[in-house]
Chains A and B, each alone.
Chain A
């Protein structure tokens, strides 16, 4: 430590500034959520969460995540496998496309689906004629969520797969393993922590997504409100305790995600060090 050139004062000052910012912008808001949620006691908190609309919102959020995350996982593994292990025309284009949802505002992402599947949209008349509901219903919410979470798994896996190269897979092939066995016995175990990490990030985003889902959901209470949308409605209706109770569930999810992420990062580091 003594080898550092900065004088002690500068060090404490820098650390102090960082801590103040951390406290002001992260710890304080987060504790506010829990403080408000419990401000009227346990009973009100529990009751707010037992409200049928809240239960329905939680159920919808979980269903959305349960559909979106596995689909993203399959896509993410396939895309990163293709990008990291093979050289083909359009590889760079695919790589940029994967990043697209990160650079597009979620509201625009939602609007895209309205423009395609909405009543005035591209496929709207056909869908109405065949009585298929996509926007303002579960399918639209799931589609929008998949869109915004698209890059989460792939972005985690591509660098890991690239750094590992192809040699272990090639070795497995020369030893007589089929492509399928090579994938399951060699490729997947080598990226298992990356997959888990990607799932966690993807899940957090899927459950927390507001903008895109807000556009396509139509805010039908008890039907198409996910947890973040439910919170907004409650808050706008001045039911702040109920809003914060619901928010505390999402905040809790964020904290659990953060802990899981830290643990997995440590495991990845240990794996890499070995």
Chain B
């Protein structure tokens, strides 16, 4: 089932939670709503579920207005950040709940319920917890039970609100890969909310970046990462350094230093903000051919796939840099060592004004 929202507005008192949001989720898509807290992503999810109501605009399920449909008739599976398992019921009763509350003519037999619950427990590899209560389970287990419970009623759409937000890093990684694999097999239209850019980039088919009740950009992970629509998206999707500078003919003039900017062409000099990701710098021990920024290594962390370093320029600005282990060994980088920084690439530049 496809979901479409058109010109949704939602206010809580004076606070604009959603400000003219339009979005289409294709059938079978796995879409991430990504944004900082207060960006309206959870509000949007709850409106789609029917748990909250928009002030104006439309929500369409497969082209039909869902306004008149109650939550229970929408066929959405909703997974809450804090699981919301029924605390007085066993795992079995939790998962069976959706089947048992169906109207009599649709309700499966107790035998069929049992078969379905066991099938779902097998899917999430938790058959052995069937008779336990939620409080006897770990966070990761609870979240998988919550997923199984939502899937039991064969929802047409799966909505996940920060599903892995309160789990520790290791479990979070495992579960999101599991979700991706599950989605690849089941192809159920899925919308999930997250504030974790890594999670969104890794799992989603497309990402919707939200900020202050608006959609900033919609695109594939590759798209939003490499071609950010604006500085907010760029900032939100990973670390970035930024410089105030003058741009002129393939060069960025930062303070007294001229840096070559590959691929840059400006017809006339401009004042700009230059955004550079940590891996877009080249470091060298000597000044090299072109001009480069002189800096000293202030902080160094070689533990990891990439070596992270913080450099301090002569003007006192700090640059966060990531280089490969190989480069690190070649440079024989140590703390307080002077290095020369040049640009391999630039993520994004924002023109502030034309320089005279």
Contact = CB atoms under 8 A, between A and B. Distances in A.
On whether the two chains bind one another, the answer is: yes
Q: Which of A171, A176, A177, A181 has the most CB of B within 10 A?
A: A176
A194 B325 CA distance: 61
Interface residues of B, number: 29
Interface in A140-191: 167-168, 170-178, 181, 185-186, 189-190
A190 B88 contact: yes
A186 B85 CA distance: 10
B76 A174 contact: yes
A154 to B, nearest CB: 22
A103 interface: no
Interface in A83-126: none
Contacts of A181: 101
Contacts of A274: 87, 133, 135-136
B72 interface: yes
Interface in B75-128: 76-78, 80, 82, 84-88, 97-98, 101-102
A189 B87 CA distance: 9
A111 to B, nearest CB: 42
A182 to B, nearest CB: 8
Nearest to A168: B84
A170 B72 contact: no
Contacts of B84: 167-168, 170-171
Interface string A189-233: 110000000000000000000000000000000000000000000
Contacts of A178: 72, 101
Given A176-B72, A190-B87, A274-B133, A170 B97 contact: no
Given A167-B84, A168-B87, A186-B86, A174 B101 contact: no
B86 A174 contact: no
A166 B82 CA distance: 12
A175 B149 contact: yes
Contact of A177 (B74, B76, B78, B97): B97
B71 A174 contact: yes
A174 B51 contact: yes
A274 B98 CA distance: 24
Nearest to B49: A174
Nearest to A176: B72
Nearest to B97: A175
B245 interface: no
B87 A177 contact: no
A196 B97 CA distance: 25
Contacts of B297: none
B150 interface: yes
A252 to B, nearest CB: 33
Nearest to B52: A170
Q: Which of B72, B98, B102 has the most CB of A within 10 A?
A: B72
B51 A177 contact: no
Nearest to B75: A176
Given A168-B84, A274-B133, A174 B77 contact: yes
B231 interface: no
B78 A174 contact: yes
A177 B101 contact: yes
A170 B80 contact: yes
Q: Which of A175, A177, A185, A274 has the most CB of B within 10 A?
A: A175
A274 B86 CA distance: 12
Contact of A172 (B70, B77, B97): B97
B261 interface: no
B82 A173 contact: no
Contact of B82 (A167, A174, A176, A190): A167
A128 to B, nearest CB: 51
A176 B86 contact: no
Given A168-B87, A171-B86, A185-B101, A177 B80 contact: no
Contacts of A185: 97, 101
Interface in B32-77: 49, 51, 70-74, 76-77
B296 interface: no
A175 B133 contact: no
A173 B71 contact: yes
Nearest to A167: B84
Given A167-B82, A170-B84, A190-B88, A176 B102 contact: yes
B153 interface: yes
A91 B303 CA distance: 56
Contact of A171 (B78, B88, B135, B136): B78
Contacts of A177: 72, 97-98, 101
Given A168-B86, A170-B80, A171-B86, A176 B153 contact: yes
A185 B102 CA distance: 13
A175 B101 contact: yes
Interface string B141-161: 000001001101100000000
Ranked nearest first, the 8 interchain pairs of A and B with the lowest CB-CB distance are A175-B98, A167-B84, A174-B78, A177-B101, A171-B84, A274-B135, A173-B71, A189-B88
Given A173-B70, A175-B98, A176-B101, 16 more contacts: A167-B80, A168-B85, A171-B84, A171-B86, A171-B146, A172-B101, A174-B74, A174-B76, A175-B72, A175-B101, A176-B102, A177-B101, A178-B101, A185-B97, A185-B101, A274-B133
9 contacts: A167-B82, A168-B84, A168-B87, A170-B78, A171-B146, A174-B51, A174-B78, A176-B98, A190-B88
